[in-house]
Amino acid sequence: MKTNQEYKNAALAALNGNWAPVVVATIVMYLISFVVQLIVQPLTALADPESQMTLFFVVFVGTMLVSSFVSVPVSVGYYNSLNKLYLDGDNRITSNMFSIGFARVLRYVGGMLLMGIYVFLWTLLLVVPGIIKAVAYTLVPYILKDYPELSVNQAIKLSVKMMKGHKMRCFLLDLSFIGWALLGILTLGIGYIWLIPYIYTTMAAFYQDVKNEYIANGNM
């Protein structure tokens, strides 16, 4: 297995010479999320939660589902576009981000919603178990893409199996970006346009290494 610094170095090597299309794709992703939120927030304000609880619940759930069907596929498509850049050097980030069929959209939305529910339920026990499970589910977006024959629940279970023995390494890898995140805040968020693809390309390198080890051990 590689070290966390080696994952970062591999990510920077993949991004080198490809920053322009990556930055464009990152801006597109955030613009879509921003527009969705602009549409959703006024809709959730249509109902008063105190006097019209049923209407509020219907409007809230409906808008969240609409938001998920737009934002989740774009986000997952973005992760996997960076994974493809890392693996194949394919820098068509924006076009790859939207090359998702309707059936796969349903899988991605279902996967992210189910993953969120699981993390929430574990967090109800204690914060630490919730964090552990969130880390254990890190590979779900990549597994959903690589193994379309698996159900959403099977993808979550496979992520847990693949992450066995690697959760602390993944957690420390996430923590290693804190300094860059603080710097991004100091730049009023502009730095995140470069930081986000750096993080997710690093995670793509981490996923490929964990996946290769899992396969090498005869688990698939």
The pTM for the full model equals 0.81
pLDDT surpasses 70 at 215: yes
pLDDT at residue number 146: 87
Pairwise CA distance, residues 177 & 195, whole Å:
9
Beta-carbon contacts of 91 under 8 Å, excluding residues fewer than 6 positions away, are: 18, 21, 22, 85
pLDDT surpasses 90 at 202: yes
Quick one: pLDDT band at residue 170, thresholds 50, 70, 90?
very high
Quick one: pLDDT band at residue 173, thresholds 50, 70, 90?
very high
Highest mean pLDDT among 57-66, 140-149, 194-203: 194-203
Quick one: DSSP state of residue 150? Answer: S
pLDDT surpasses 80 at 29: yes
pLDDT at residue number 127: 76
Average pLDDT for 159-172? 94
pLDDT surpasses 80 at 210: yes
pLDDT surpasses 80 at 189: yes
DSSP 19-65: HHHHHHHHHHHHHHHHHHHHHHHHHHTTS-TTT-HHHHHHHHHHHHH
Highest mean pLDDT among 28-32, 73-77, 113-117: 28-32
Quick one: pLDDT band at residue 111, thresholds 50, 70, 90?
confident
Q: Dihedral sign, CA of 125, 126, 131, 136?
A: negative
Percent of the chain with pLDDT over 90: 39
Quick one: pLDDT band at residue 145, thresholds 50, 70, 90?
confident
pLDDT surpasses 90 at 68: no
pLDDT surpasses 80 at 112: no
Residue 105 CB neighbour total at 10 angstroms: 18
Quick one: DSSP state of residue 147? Answer: -
Residue 216 CB neighbour total at 10 angstroms: 9
